[in-house]
Amino acid sequence: DEPTSMIAYALMSPEYQRQTSVEGESLVSYPSELNIPRPVDDTIFDPSRSNGSVDESILSMSSSRTSSLLLDPLLYTKALHARVSYGEDGTLGKVKYTVTCYYAKRFEALRGICLPSELEFIRSLSRCKKWGAQGGKSNVFFAKTLDDRFIIKQVTKTELES
């Protein structure tokens, strides 16, 4: 009932780290010459302040260097998507899971810019509950992390291909 726990496990796995590393370093370990702005005010990440709109302080962190980091294809020398497989022998037999992290390096870079900690993101993602989104027509699965920080939406094949 908590599919995000499998995603969190995949993001922490050595296989994911290997697939998303660039010349042996994780993409979130930015070279110092990129001079990527980092948030210094932790209150912008306070969920109690959320009013449904994007905080101006997050928008102000944007820069042409940040945009080029996310869009520069030279930074993405390996496949766009990371695929992590793992399995276990349970009481009902052998089970195999495969998690595909679409645009893995780009989302990792975005998280490095917008979030205070990758580990805190993964920790939050590890626990979720089904969430009944209101007003949509997609009839897809939605979940919300137990700490109410993130919403998870199932991506349809049509959305993925567009």
According to DSSP, the β-strands at 142-145 and 25-26 are unpaired
pLDDT in tens, 48-86: 444 444 444 444 444 444 555 555 544 544 568 999 999
d(CA 122, CA 7): 8
160 inside domain: no
91 inside domain: yes
152 inside domain: no
Domain that holds residue 75: 3-126
Dihedral of CA atoms 70, 109, 152, 3 in degrees, nearest 10, equals 130
Q: Which residues contact 47 (CB under 8 A, 6 or more apart)?
A: 147, 148, 149
148 inside domain: no
Full-model pTM: 0.64
pLDDT in tens, 25-35: 444 433 333 33
38 inside domain: yes
134 inside domain: no
153 inside domain: no
Q: Looking at per-residue confidence, does 37 or 113 come out higher? A: 113
154 inside domain: no
What per-residue confidence (pLDDT) applies to 91?
86
**Count of domains in the chain?**
1
